[in-house]
Amino acid sequence: MSTNVIQSEQEIQGEIQSPNLLASAVQSWRRFTQGDKQVMVLALLATVVASVIVLMLWTASQGYRPLYGSQENVETSQVIEVLEAEGIYYRIESNTGLVLVADDQLGKARMLLAARGVKAKVPSGMDELDSSSLGTSQFMEQAKYRHGLEGELARSIMSLKHVRSARVHLAIPKRSLFIRQKPELPTASVMLQLSPGTELTQSQVEAVVNLVAGSVTGMETTGVKIVDQDGRFLSASINENQDITQARDKQISYTRELEQNLMHNASSMLEAILGPNNFQVKIAAKVNFNQIEETKEALDPQAVMVQERTSSDDKNAALAQGIPGALSNQAPQAAGDKKDNNRNLRQEANRQFDVGRSVRHIRYQQMQLENLSVSVLVNNTVSTGLTTDDAELTKLGSMVKDAIGFSSERGDSFSINAFAFSVPTIAEFEPLPWWQVEDYQAYLRYFIGGLLGLGLILFVLRPLVSHLTFTAKHVDNETREPEVINLAKSAESTAVTEANAVTRTAVNQKHGDEKDTAEWLGGLNLPEPGSPLTVKMEHLGMLANQEPARVAEVLAHWIGDKDAD
């Protein structure tokens, strides 16, 4: 019997505590004035709405792709007009001005724009020549040809990286019929619009200059001017000393390549012995880029006679004397003169010799290696069992010299040393927090969205509905309160009257019916007569809920027991 009583008390206390918490919350809410209640409700609604908006903006920033590329020059106003007409949500990138759409709407949007005739603006080329009619003048044909050539060049330039758009202006002079008059050369001006934050390299500018100059007959590279959207003259450094600049770049590139190859050969030898990161090899090469040509002519000192000729002429006769044409006036010669023998002797010798001759034309190598400066640094704390004493360093130096082709006659210098290398400090990699990982951010957005929605239902909608329902019930209870009080008073007077009557009946029949009453009361599991009043009241309340008609009899029994005592 006592066990049943304890269980009933615990159930009653649990049922009483939960309404008390709710009642205390309701009482706290009632303490606020009507204005404070409205302010709190509005503040809570504003907080929830702001959270939902932030979540929507956060979610909307993900999953959007550009509708067109940065190099596709499309009219943005036409694109926006078509997207708004079709009800496709879009965004505009603040930095680049590109139109962004959702991933699942990209294909649909591109097809709709193509169907509506929205295309990228590309400079017109030679296709304009197809629209020429039979009555077109020669001037118009030349103008269309020049405009088409400008468009084709602009298309070619726009295909380069970092170039968003390009415009080309050609100035082609009319040919003169006078031969002695110096012809005017054609020129070109190129306007480039580069992507934000990008610049063209020197090689790209040279490529554009040569592309334009090679497309027009008679145009030289000095006649091509290139300007970007910021007004910078890009082709200024190319027109001035172009040959010198190109030659210098080639020389620097060749020298670096030579040094890298030599360092690779030396490193491959040392790495097999010392291991990686235990040595350093630096090589500086001095290369002579002078172009020298030499012509030599040499004669053979030993001559060879190939031909000899000798001639002799001997004459015996008197010498002619006197005056020509006056022989008749000459005196006769004496008899003794006739005996003299007159003789004329002439000899001639001719010898021809051939002398050997050699002519040599020498063109020296332009990129000739003059000398090398080699420096090798070895880590003396290598844990490979190799000692870094002078003997070992000498052996290592010999291997390196053979690997790079060291030559003392050429004037090469070499040095090898051993020092302790400093231990590099490796920065520890700190992983990103889990809320910054992209894989978790997508799930985190959905979780926060669901949590905010649930909070909106539980803390805004549900209390609001409860408040409205409670207000309606409170008004209904206030209208019914007088009737309930009257019914309670009549029920109380009736219960007192019945209790008095039962008491009198019980006193009169006390002795005769005492045994039957005790048996009936024992079946109700009532507390003992000496139990505390609180226990009796709790059981009386339970009995009133189950059998209200028996309450008067129990009260009469307890009153009778008290009178008997």
Q: Residue 209's domain is classified under what CATH number? A: 3.30.300.30
Average pLDDT of 143-157? 86
52/415: higher pLDDT = 415
- Of 116, 137, 153, the one marking the end of a domain is 116
Name the domain count of the chain.
Answer: 4
> pLDDT per residue over 31-85, tens digit each?
655 555 665 666 677 677 777 776 666 665 557 788 777 666 677 788 888 888 8
| 455 pLDDT higher than 90 | no
Predicted local confidence at residue 414, as pLDDT: 94
CB 148 within 8 A of CB 175: no
User: What mean pLDDT do residues 390-397 have?
Assistant: 86
In a domain, 488, yes or no: no
Query: Which residues are 91's β-sheet partners?
Result: 100
Task: List, for residues 347-388, the tens digit of each pLDDT value.
Answer: 788 888 777 788 888 887 778 888 999 999 998 876 545 555
The angle at the Cα of 181, spanning 177 to 186, to the nearest 5 degrees, equals 80
pLDDT of residue 13: 42
232 and 269 housed in the same domain: no
Axis-axis angle for helices 551-564, 533-546 (nearest 10): 150
Residue 436 lies in a domain: yes
Which region among 361-375, 401-415, 421-435 has the lowest average model confidence (pLDDT)? 421-435
The answer to whether residues 383 and 274 belong to one domain is yes
pLDDT score, position 317: 58
| Mean predicted lDDT score pLDDT of the chain | 73
Pairing label, strands 163-171, 187-194: antiparallel
* Higher pLDDT among residues 319 and 315, named by residue: 315
Q: Is 224 helix (H, G, I), strand (E, B) or coil?
A: strand
Higher-confidence residue of 248 and 424: namely 248
Contact by Cβ (8 Å): 330, 322: yes
In a shared domain, residues 130 and 89? no
What distances in angstroms separate CA 405 from CA 34, 269, 412, one per listed residue? Answer: 98, 13, 10
Tell me: do 156 and 81 sit in the same domain: no
Q: What is the CATH number of the domain that holds 384?
A: 3.30.300.20
- 498, part of any domain: no
Do residues 412 and 274 both lie within one domain? Answer: yes
Residues 6+ apart with CB under 8 A from 412: 371, 372, 373, 374, 406
Are both 265 and 384 inside the same structural domain?
yes
Domain contains 452 = yes
pLDDT at residue 267 is higher than 80: yes
Q: Are residues 158 and 193 in the same domain?
A: yes
Confidence check: pLDDT of 226 > 50: yes
Q: What percentage of the chain has pLDDT greater than the value 90?
A: 10
Residues 138 and 226 in one domain: yes
Say what the pLDDT of residue 434 is.
Answer: 73
Q: Is residue 525 part of a domain?
A: no
**Same structural domain for residues 203 and 72?**
no
Average pLDDT estimate for 285-303: 84
pLDDT at 474 over 50: yes
Confirm whether 155 is domain-assigned. Answer: yes
Would you place residue 4 in the very low, low, confident or very high pLDDT band (cuts 50, 70, 90)?
very low
Highest mean pLDDT among 101-110, 405-414, 505-514, 521-530: 405-414
pLDDT of residue 325: 59
Which pLDDT belongs to residue 265? 93
pLDDT at 507 over 60: no
Using the 3D structure, point to which of 385, 419, 453 is the last residue of a domain: 419
Do both 80 and 206 map to the same domain?
no
List of E strands, 404-467: 413-419
- The one-letter code for the residue type at 432 is L
**pLDDT tier, 406 (very low <50, low <70, confident <90, very high otherwise):** very high
Token pair recorded at residue 22: 């709710």
- Residue 532 inside a domain? The answer is no
DSSP 8-state class, residue 233: B
Cβ neighbours of residue 40 closer than 8 Å, sequence gap 6 or more: 32
Range of the domain at 151: 126-174+183-240
pLDDT at 1: 38
Sign, CA dihedral 30-36-38-44, equals: negative
Q: Are residues 371 and 393 in the same domain?
A: yes
* Cβ within 8 Å of residue 302, ≥6 positions away: 356
Q: How confident is the model at residue 529 (pLDDT cuts 50, 70, 90)?
A: low
189 within domain boundaries: yes
* Predicted pLDDT at 264: 94
Residues 261, 371, single domain; the answer is: yes
